[in-house]
Chains A and B, each alone.
Chain A
Amino acid sequence: MTKEQENTPLRLFLDLEGEEARRYTEALKRVRGVVVVESDSSAEAVISTRGDGHSLPLLWLPPVEEDEAEKGGEPAHEDRVMPAAEWRFQQSIRVMADRLRQGKLGEPGVLRIHRWTEKARLLADLDLASWLFGGVPETLYAVSRFGYVQCHLGFCEGGMALIDHAAGGHFGDGYESVTLIGGKGAGYADDHRNVNLRFDETGCQGMRVTEGDTGLVDMLRAFAGAVKEERGFAVTMEDWHRAREIGRRVKKSLDEGAAA
């Protein structure tokens, strides 16, 4: 990349609405070397929930539930698309993943996820699992009751993931706990560890200290950097198809009440 290219801001078009438009707009203010433009005709790259209708490099916000994903609308030009796997860029996850890649934690043994969330996002956790283990599970068993889903994945070399996923409006701010146990060490990213206390006349209450949108900012930096430098994306459509494949097996296991 020439100095001139480096200093020229990347023109991004945000094809988003509502809360997502707000979050992305705010996050992009923290990303150096990008500018948001009003239409895709003057843009060099697009950020959108719509997969189709874009010929420019695309940061695509995919559906994170299998039922939504089945409706279609996936991008056509897959090599120019980065699925917005924000969960991979969450700083607590990134720290654990980096240590795993560096060999500090040894071979991954167990990925344990507890996620209680307002909006279901099982495909995101299935992607996280296949990313950290580097493949699709050999065995899979899923159970669903009372709106909860438990996914039990078995990877090669004995690796395993166990996902406790509960979604619904009553989960409010949600709760996340991700533990990665390796052969030589472990990482614990748990909301339970990041709670302060507040006292008032009703007693004591916990107050979470969150990572905010730092992961989103890091993802946007990665996307913008890859577009400007014309290199491959950190997350690919192949990753997305892999998560979808696991999602379909989860559904099959739930339907049949057997390992899939």
Chain B
Amino acid sequence: MTEAKKRYRAIALSVVKHDYLPNAVAAHPRFDVVAVADDAACPDWVHQRNQLYADQLGIPYHKDPQVAFDTCGADVAVVSSEAERHCDLAMRAAHAGLHIIVDKPLSTTLAECDRLVEAVEKHRVRCLVWNRNYLPALLQVRDVVARGDIGALQAIHCDFYFSKDAGPPKGSRREGDPPINWLERQLEAHADGSDGGVGVLPMGELQIEGIYPLAYMRMLTGGLAVERVFARTATHFHQANVDNEVDDLATVTLEMAGGVVGTLCLGRIGAAAHPDIGEIKLHLLGSEGRLVISEARPEVALHYREQPPLEFRHQRLAEENNFLLVEEFVRALEGGEDEGLVLDARGARDICAIVNAAIESGRNGEVVALG
């Protein structure tokens, strides 16, 4: 008879963004999400979303995270709040001895990332930052690179154009209209899932989505340090970004340790600009070969009469990213400190530093060196 494996008890520490993260944990056979918790001082919309999620799972909602830490017997905190509260909530979980799964981005502030890294290491808990490194095409390219099929990696380029709209297009504000309030726009966007930047503080797409392609590059380069960054940023598509002075289009040149170079093009290019979720590709040049990878593969094409205009014509398949991330987290919990995570707090902190350097470079037009 095999020994019954431990089941982990998880607290959903705020569920105000997409619910994919707590859902991924709840769907994994080794986890039970036992409560939702958040601060009493949060605004009503936060409590409403938390309560809704708790009701969906039939679990209690505690308006005091410490009460949940003290009473739920939890092992893990799943943080899916606004990005500006990620680190604070995660740090409190770490201080309570809970392991952490936190949504992306870790933070837009390097100091907050540093504090979380310190707390995670001090309390010897594990912290997984959500990413997409387990998509089928990413696993394929990871294996090809790891086998040495293209020799030593010399250059890596990522194009990351995603096609969801983000409210009215640039130039649509009429004279006399007030600028778009960031939080209100994000709250409206919850239904269609384009609220990746939910929170009071406006965030550019480099801050919201940049962690995904940069995590790809980090994995495929074996975590090579980025030493210098040059970037251009612009608000090119969406009025909310114009009104709040945050980018929706960016290009970044990366110079890494060992002479490896790379580039990133990233933008929320609008639904009209692509028939599917977006054009997301990787180009890798090695000493012995090269790769051109579409992140969307495998996919199936669907076309039919009266097809809703916003339904993707190509739908992705074999997508087990969520399960595989949680599975990796289990391995990390049970394998000790030597068991790595594809993106931990320190890795996400380094990505935050790259993003911040790119934003700085975009503002001053100069190359920015990372410490």
Q: Which residues of B contact A139 (CB under 8 A)?
A: 232, 365
Q: Which residues of B contact A109 (CB under 8 A)?
A: 234, 236-237, 249, 267, 269
Q: Which residues of B contact A49 (CB under 8 A)?
A: none
Q: Which residues of B contact A150 (CB under 8 A)?
A: 155, 253, 261, 263
Q: Which residues of A contact B285 (CB under 8 A)?
A: 116, 146, 148, 166
- Provide the B237-274 mask, 1 if CB < 8 A to any CB of A, else 0: 10000000000010101010001110101010110111
Q: CB distance B236 to A158 under 8 Å? A: yes
> Within the complex, which residue of B249, B290, B366, B367 is in contact with A158, where a contact is CB–CB below 8 Å?
B249
Interface: A69 (CB within 8 A): no
Interface: A162 (CB within 8 A): yes
Number of A-B contacts (CB under 8 A): 118
Interface: A93 (CB within 8 A): no
Q: Which residues of B contact A112 (CB under 8 A)?
A: 159, 251, 265
Interface: A35 (CB within 8 A): no
Q: Closest CB-CB distance, B44 to chain A, in whole Å? A: 36
Q: How far is the CA of A186 from the CA of B157 in the complex (A)?
A: 19
Interface: B134 (CB within 8 A): no
- Provide the A151-181 mask, 1 if CB < 8 A to any CB of B, else 0: 0101000111110101000000001010101
Interface: A209 (CB within 8 A): no
Q: How far is the CA of A162 from the CA of B292 in the complex (A)?
A: 17
Q: Which residues of B contact A145 (CB under 8 A)?
A: 154-155, 259-261
Q: How far is the CA of A191 from the CA of B281 in the complex (A)?
A: 13
Interface: A259 (CB within 8 A): yes
Interface: B95 (CB within 8 A): no
Q: Closest CB-CB distance, A218 to chain B, in whole Å? A: 26
Interface: A114 (CB within 8 A): yes
User: Which residue from chain B places its CB closest to the CB of A152 in the assembled complex?
Assistant: B253
Q: How far is the CA of A27 from the CA of B169 in the complex (A)?
A: 44
Q: Which residues of B contact A191 (CB under 8 A)?
A: 292
Interface: A133 (CB within 8 A): no
> Within the complex, which residue of A107, A146, A161, A164 is in contact with B157, where a contact is CB–CB below 8 Å?
A164
Q: CB distance A154 to B232 under 8 Å? A: yes
User: Which 3 A-B residue pairings sit nearest by Cβ, starting from the closest?
Assistant: A158-B234, A186-B273, A109-B236
Known: A154-B365, A158-B234, A158-B236. 14 other contacts (CB 8 A): A109-B234, A114-B292, A145-B155, A146-B285, A158-B235, A159-B234, A164-B263, A181-B269, A183-B270, A185-B270, A191-B292, A258-B366, A259-B365, A259-B366
Q: List 24 A-B contacts (CB under 8 A).
A: A107-B236, A114-B292, A139-B232, A143-B261, A145-B259, A146-B155, A146-B285, A148-B154, A152-B230, A158-B232, A160-B251, A162-B251, A164-B263, A164-B283, A175-B290, A179-B159, A179-B161, A183-B236, A185-B272, A185-B273, A188-B279, A192-B294, A257-B367, A259-B366
